[in-house]
Amino acid sequence: MKQNPSILVIGAGKWGQNHLRVFYFLGALAAVAEANEALHDEIKNRYPGIKIYRSHLDALADPGIDGAVVATPAPTHFEISRAVLEAGKDLLVEKPMTLSVEEAAALNSIAGSKNRIIMAGHLLLFKSAVRKIIESIRAGLIGELYYISMRRAKLGKVRREENVLWSFAPHDIAVLLKLVNSPVKSVTAAGKAALQPQIADDVHLHLVFENDVQAHIHLSWLWPEDERKTVIVGSQGMLTYDEHENKIWHHQKGVNQDLSVYNKGRSEIIFTDRDALEEEARHFLECIKERTEPLANGRHGQEVIEVLVKADRFRSQSELDKEYFVHESAYVDPPVQIGKGTRIWHFSHVMSGVVIGERCNIGQNVFIAKDVKIGNNVKIQNNVSVYEGVILEDDVFCGPSMVFTNIKTPRSAYPRNTADDYIPTVVKKGASIGANATIVCGITVGRYALVGAGAVVTRDVPDHAVVYGNPAEIRGWACRCGAVIESEETEVLNCPECGTKLIITVNK
């Protein structure tokens, strides 16, 4: 193989710029993929001779590329990382690796089948101080580990899309898993959403490991001081590390068997400091060249996601503000099942047998007929009736006054009002239906489809299709992020906003 593998950086935003700088310095930067063309001139001036692509899919088709760094927003990590691996390239993906355990497992499966490397961007593992701490613990400097306390807190930057757990915790969880070197036995968490509903600003996370070591992490972006501190307590001493000071202290103090306290002072542990991002990049290049497993491999990245998911689930289930709300003017006929965080507003009526998922918003004057099934995070705007036989999957949006029907040939004089008379209608995950649209019964509206305002839908809508008119016809395609793509004579489309590859299937 050539002296240095050729690296593609996907995403030239704030953190992507750091990867560009480091891989260029190491002589390994070959190309960059960045959808925002306004950044292209700046990249050309800074990194002359580097190929620039608008789409990462075009860049991945370059046979000269050996590996790719994914430094795009977290919701895009899975789709872009999958494309990298399927193109036969090795992968370094920024934290969090994905937003679900299933997606992380899928990436590991693809990497295994393609014999590709996955490395998670857990930068703290490449800080010289953290490496020294892990080395000291493994060498038995403070004896048997008892417990670890971490705090990562400051004032801002507050995110709108992710809570402080997902934003801050991947760093410390990645270090804990290496430091303790034992499977996680249990995860609990508690948090407070002070600034925005359902987005926790302050979280306390507690982990218990199979070897009985316990760890506590406090995470906050609503805090008076910028703190990044770690305390590690063992049977023969303690370690403290302040990330801002970049100093490790060995405290030779503790409690004797007779419960008397001893204190032999403290000493600084000396280490040679190196640039963490450069060390991470060098490690990735070495793994590509030697075909060796990274320190933060795909399995390690998945384990971090598993802890995050368990913590977020525990926190959500335990917070009182996640209980559902029913306005005093609304009627709910028992028995029904309503998920936590759901809101049912003025003059709405929910009949018996209905199942409504978590975090749904049911607007004013909405009627939901008996036995209807509604998924998680569904938004139903004012004046909508959801009749028996209609199924709304997760993340569906129903615009104001849109209409579902459930019988093909209704007659007032000859009632058709038994369950056998109703024709099922399914609106699949992520689909959006505009105001005043009509969905004729028996229709399936595909995943992430967009139905325009006032449309009359008389036949199935494919996944990602944009339809409008009377009768509704396919006018284009939509990514799950909401970006609309003009119709093209192709089965594969590229989203101009997030770069997601869409596989279009239309049954003719």
Looking at the chain, the domain(s) classified CATH 2.160.10.10 span: 320-503
Query: What pLDDT digit, counting tens, does each position of 285-321 carry?
Result: 999 999 999 999 999 999 999 999 999 888 866 654 4
- For residues 465-484, average pLDDT: 91
In DSSP terms, 151 is beta-bridged to: 218, 229
Q: Is the pLDDT of residue 505 over 90?
A: no
- Tokens 């953290």: give the residue: 130
**3-state SS assignment for residue 503:** strand
402 φ/ψ angles, rounded to the nearest 5 degrees: -70, 160
Q: Convert the pLDDT of each residue in 107-116 to its tens digit.
A: 999 999 999 9
**Each residue of 65-87: pLDDT tens digit?**
999 999 999 889 999 999 999 99
User: What's the pLDDT tens digit per position in 395-405?
Assistant: 999 999 999 99
Distance CA 115, CA 83 (A): 15
Residue 326: pLDDT band (50, 70, 90) is: confident
Judge whether residue 384 has pLDDT over 70: yes
Architecture of domain 126-274+306-318: 2-Layer Sandwich (3.30)
Q: How confident is the model at residue 325 (pLDDT cuts 50, 70, 90)?
A: confident
Where are the domain boundaries for CATH 3.30.360.10 in the chain? 126-274+306-318
Name the residue among 481, 482, 473 with its Cα closest to residue 74. Answer: 481
Residues forming CATH 3.40.50.720 domain(s) in the chain: 7-116
Whether residue 157 has a cis bond before it, omega within 30° of 0: yes
Q: Report the mean per-residue pLDDT for the chain.
A: 91
| Residue 199: predicted pLDDT | 85
Predicted confidence band at 104 (pLDDT cuts at 50, 70, 90)?
Answer: very high
> In which residue are the tokens 């968490």 written?
189
Q: Tell whether domain 320-503 is in CATH 2.160.10.10.
A: yes
- Which residues 6+ apart lie within 8 Å of 4 measured at CB? 26, 27, 28, 285
DSSP 8-state class, residue 334: S
7-116 has CATH 3.60.10.10 classification: no
The predicted model gives 14-22 an average pLDDT of 94
Q: Which residue has the tokens 């594969």?
A: 492
CA–CA gap between residue 140 and residue 239 (Å, rounded): 12
For residue 81, the model assigns a pLDDT of: 97
Tokens at residue 199, please? 């987005």
